[in-house]
A and B are shown apart, each in its own frame.
Chain A
Amino acid sequence: MGRIQLKQVTKKFGDVEVIPPLDLTIEDGEFAVFVGPSGCGKSTLLRLIAGLEDITTGQIEIDGTDATNVPPAKRGLAMVFQSYALYPHMSVRKNIAFPLRMAKMEQAEIDKRVEAAASVLNLTDYLDRRPGQLSGGQRQRVAIGRAIVREPAAFLFDEPLSNLDAALRVGMRMEISELHEKLATTMIYVTHDQVEAMTMADKIVVLQAGVIEQVGSPLELYRAPRNLFVAGFIGSPKMNFIEGPEAAKHDAHTIGVRPEHIAVSDSEGLWSGVVGVSEHLGSDTFFHVHDTGLAETITVRADGEVGFRHGDRIHLTPRADVIHRFDAQGLRIA
């Protein structure tokens, strides 16, 4: 069980208010992802939930009971740190067993649980090694192993994949998602990578400067971003924002069009421009188009086979049904 509820939580470091009053509920079994730019308070929020930092005002409830003043060890949460924080002088087996030893569990039970965790995480062959003798991905799995043996009410991950290379990151992403399917335990996952957020989350919490900009499922955020910040943050490449007369045609201060929602043609279209930089990914190609008569450079995503080159004239047509409209305050117009 792991329903986590923050009520009017604030956090100040000295005079600096890092988290202004914030309300948030994470349901039992949910995979919640906190995303936001660097320094927006994601780690701080996670550490407040873990109990590693004291909250300044407000209340944290875990499973309906007030946990505001409960020490970290008693909250029943497990955390996986960005640096893994493995104990370097202990073997993998001892690392994973550490929380159980601290809980004074019987040795036979400890062995059983460690073996079980190791087989889930493919660590059985490495149990007698030290962390220093493991690769980054293996260390990451040991850190997760140390978290799962405790059977916590919820897992907290702070950017656990940021030290891994791209290929490994994709692999570990799947493993963590699978683990969540298997354990069905609440997980809170911090990242600044919106791809991780989109692929893993049941619920995404977008933060900026300690303020929650929007909470919702990945597709909700993609389809109906509540404001310009969320619209720009979710989706890759970034949404095109167009102001001025073109936006006025739609009765908006700003309109947003995603690169994947623009059709390209060599003969006709709503806007016409010149191809600047093009990024070929094989499956897709991203064209950065300028001189369209709009103030902004427009990014479009086309099929990988589309063969425009630098300097070519290109015609663009946005799909009318997926144009996002925003008012002067940057808020979405329904």
Chain B
Amino acid sequence: MATQHSRSAARIMMAPAVFVLLVWMLVPLTMTLYFSFKKYLPLRGGDLGWVGFDNYVRFVTSSAFWPAVQTTLVIVGGVLLITVVLGILLALLLDQPMWGQGVVRILVIAPFFVMPTVSALVWKNMFMDPVNGLFAHLWRFFGAEPVSWLSDASLASIIMIVSWQWLPFATLILLTAIQSLDSEQLEAAEMDGAPPLKRFYHIILPHMSRAITIVILIQTIFLLAIFAEIFVTTGGAFGTRTLTYLIYQRVLESQNVGLGSAGGVYAIILANIVALFLMRIVGKNLDA
């Protein structure tokens, strides 16, 4: 893109794509903003006029809001912790030369290709069902009382399901990071007298720090929006109502579009704050 001419030609050629993307994004966004300032109850009178910031205040002050925020944070935090820790361990393991490496790597990545709805249903019915689930059989085999996972340990169950889905992503990114480490650095550390654990702590972990940050940020954006897993398992009951789920309930179950839209705007702001950090870190990565 050296000359003035080629630059303007490039702009013209990019214009249709940019236009489509803008419309694609801007239309829903403006509609959400538009509804968030209205009292709009489709089945109870329809559009009841402008209400200013009423919806925003009501959404935050409702008794369901703070528990939902807390649930969201617990799920996001729990999944991040599990996927990052297990991801590092798995990546270390997969980096070792071993028999059948190719097949094992594909198996590890596999869960990522399963749709969230499907995997949640599989977990719910095949593993966590208190009567017929595999876990129930296992518990009974050891003479224990089967746990009704989704009602008694609902939050933990959902964290488990979502972690299972996101572990491959974390593992894959962390594995590529480990593989990019110069093996001479590890050998130098070995000669410098660092035992394996210290080599991990002083050499491997700092080398992976950027990859870990990227995993955390990308996952956070997606985890803030998890929905299907909750919808098909607990339906938001037993303390598993996240912010996303709360918005869904406001719009579709209570048929209050204005209130739901206000929640949606909060969610957009939250996701953008995370995205901002992500851009800066990824950008820095590209500069270096």
B203 touches A102 (CB 8 A): no
- Report B172-191 CB contacts with A as 1/0, cut-off 8 Å: 00000000001011011111
Contacts of B203 in A (CB 8 A): 87
With A83-B182, A83-B184, A85-B182 as given contacts, are A52 and B202 in contact (CB-CB < 8 Å)?
A: no
Q: Tell me the smallest distance from the CB of A199 to a CB of chain B, in Å.
A: 26
Query: How far is the CB of A332 from the nearest CB of chain B, in Å?
Result: 39
Q: How many interface residues does chain B have, given as a range?
A: 10 to 19
Closest residue to B198 on the A side, CB-wise?
A: A102
CB 8 Å contact bits of B156-198 with A (1 = contact, 0 = none): 0000000000000000000000000010110111111111001
State whether the Cβ of A78 lies closer than 8 Å to any Cβ in chain B.
yes
Given the contacts A73-B193, A87-B203, A89-B206, A81 and B188 also touching, CB distance less than 8 Å: yes
The residues of B that contact A73 with a CB separation of less than 8 Å are: 190-195
Residues of chain A contacted by B194 (CB below 8 angstroms)? 73, 98, 102
Is A103 a contact partner of B193 (Cβ separation < 8 A)?
yes
Q: Is the interface of A mostly helix, strand, loop or mixed?
A: loop
Once the chains bind, are A52 and B191 in contact (CB under 8 Å)?
yes
For the complex, count residues of A whose C-beta is within 8 A of B: 23
- Shortest C-beta distance, A152 to chain B (Å), equals 9
Chain A residues within an 8 Å CB radius of B195: 73
Does B207 interact with chain A (Cβ within 8 Å)? Answer: yes
A98 touches B191 (CB 8 A): no
23 A-B pairs with CB atoms under 8 Å apart are A51-B191, A52-B187, A52-B190, A72-B187, A73-B190, A73-B192, A77-B191, A78-B191, A79-B187, A79-B188, A82-B184, A83-B182, A85-B184, A85-B188, A86-B185, A87-B185, A87-B188, A87-B189, A87-B203, A87-B206, A89-B209, A98-B189, A99-B193
User: Footprint of B on A, CB under 8 Å?
Assistant: 50-52, 71-73, 77-79, 81-83, 85-89, 98-99, 102-103, 146, 150
Which residues on B are within 8 Å of A, measured CB to CB?
A: 182, 184-185, 187-195, 198, 202-203, 206-207, 209
Excluding A73-B194, A78-B191, A87-B188, 6 further A-B contacts by CB distance (< 8 Å) are A73-B193, A79-B191, A85-B185, A87-B206, A99-B193, A103-B193
